[in-house]
Amino acid sequence: MIELNLKNVNFEQEVIEFDKAKIESIHNLIINKSGKGSDFLGWYEWPNNFDKKEYNLMKEKAEELRNEIEVLLVVGIGGSYLGTRAADNMIRGLFTKDKVELIYIGNTISSSYIKQVLDYVDDKEFAIANISKSGTTTEPGISFRVFQNKLVEKKGKEIAQKRIVAITDKSKGALKKLATIEGYTTFTIPDDIGGRFSVFTPVGIFPLLVAGIDTDLLFKGSQKAYKDLESLDNSAYKYAITRYLLNVEYNYKTEVLVSYELQMQMFTEWWKQLFGESEGKDNKGLLPSSCVFSTDLHSLGQFIQDGTKNVLFETVIDIKKPQFDINVPVVKEDLDGLNYLTNNSFHEINHIALEGVIEAHVNTGMVPNIVLEFEKMDAEMFGYAIYWFMRACAFSGYLLEINPFDQPGVEVYKKNMFKLLKKPGF
């Protein structure tokens, strides 16, 4: 479901000839859970061994809510929301006609945004999925309070209790405690799966079920990727090796993930967190950045083509089959001279743009381009791509000899903020 095309990176042979023993030893670190941070490799087997009983309970609760609500507020930050939002946009598109809309809170402390959401849900039937593994993250914690109050005020305590679902640790943390006291339905984030690797756990699956997304198909995609990555000679490892060589051997500092579909923008945000938080440590790692073309061809495109050399390379997602395609209408006068385009559909033009841009960036701009051909944009493809990138990321982290599963740097801002806010103990 993902084809890796390296013809626009001029050292494909080096990737093919990369140290086989090293590939095998890193592969073994992943599958035997014996590398750095191995306590957090639970996601590796998850597509096959996820908790089927809990999955059925989630389906039942999601159906109950789907019959009652118009909006599900997804409370969470980082790995507790990015994957859900990436799936929501990639699979349902940006203007869903489904009866349940997902709105994301808890990833910002912007009072203006929170007030806008409060006003928006004022006349709507809504429920809340409060998602936090630690249960102590400030941003979702304080946002939850606001919307919990709003729901109780609107519907009363009894209905609010049924409309709030907590997704958190199985036994510890503030959210687990709160959910037990309040009697909220609770689903579990496994101990051995960290936030940015948690899309296939209740973190992503529960809200996506409420959104009416076919999560069976999503799991099918992840299982397919799992199978495809059993061999050592796989495209995810080759992608990791290519970006490693670009970074370490050829001194590139930034990887720009490019898509030609606006509904893939949140997918690129999820990817930025995955690689940024996993690799950006010990003074190592590529800076993950993203663009959506054509939009950004008229902004960052200039820098990519003509700006400082040797800082960035692109990884281009080439979607083969769009969800919809439309034709360019023929007009009689042809005043804008665009009738010549009416032989092609929008998707064909988009694809020709992709080919033209790659040629310009590679041949004139001297920017290496990795191309990832995605078969389509649906739940199966989402499941496949997410698992594929997670495996590439784990492999890549071990190539850099870092722990891909922790995020010590994130704590620094929290400590400063707590000190300034006079949190007891800081």
318 binds ligand PA5 (CB under 6 A): no
Q: What residues have CB less than 8 Å from 226, skipping those under 6 apart?
A: 47, 48, 387
134 binds ligand PA5, rule: CB under 6 A:
yes
End-to-end CA distance of the chain: 49
Nearer Cβ to ligand PA5, position 135 or 383?
135
Establish if 202 lies at the interface with ligand PA5 (CB under 6 A).
Answer: no
Give the 3-state secondary structure of residue 225.
Answer: helix
Name, in order, each residue with C-beta under 8 angstroms of 412's C-beta and a sequence gap of 6 or more: none
3-class state of residue 111 by DSSP = helix
- By CB under 6 A, tell whether 133 contacts ligand PA5: yes
- Binding ligand PA5 (rule: CB under 6 A), the pick from 137, 201, 259, 350 is 137
* Residue 80 identity: S
- Would you call 332 a catalytic residue per the annotation? no
CA dihedral for 279, 281, 283, 289, sign (positive or negative): positive
Provide the angle, in degrees to the nearest 10, between the axes of the packed helices 82-92 and 379-399.
140
Q: How far is the CB of 396 from ligand PA5 (least distance, A)?
A: 16
277 noted as active-site residue: yes
Residues 68-87 that bind ligand PA5 (CB under 6 A): 77-80
Q: What x/- string results for residues 139 through 178 when contact with ligand PA5 is judged by CB under 6 A? A: -x--------------------------------------
Under the binding rule (CB under 6 A), the answer on residue 193 touching ligand PA5 is no
DSSP tag of 185? E
Query: Of 88, 255, 261, 277, which one interacts with ligand PA5 (CB under 6 A)?
Result: 277
Nearest residue (CB) to ligand PA5, 160 versus 274:
274
Q: Among the options 139, 269, 277, 314, which is catalytic?
A: 277
DSSP string, 397-413: HHHTTS-TT--TTHHHH
Q: Which two tokens stand for residue 198?
A: 């948690």
Give yes or no for residue 132 binding ligand PA5 (CB under 6 A): yes
> Closer to ligand PA5 at the Cβ: 166 or 257?
166
* Residues in contact with ligand PA5 by the rule CB under 6 A: 77-80, 132-134, 137, 140, 194-196, 277, 407
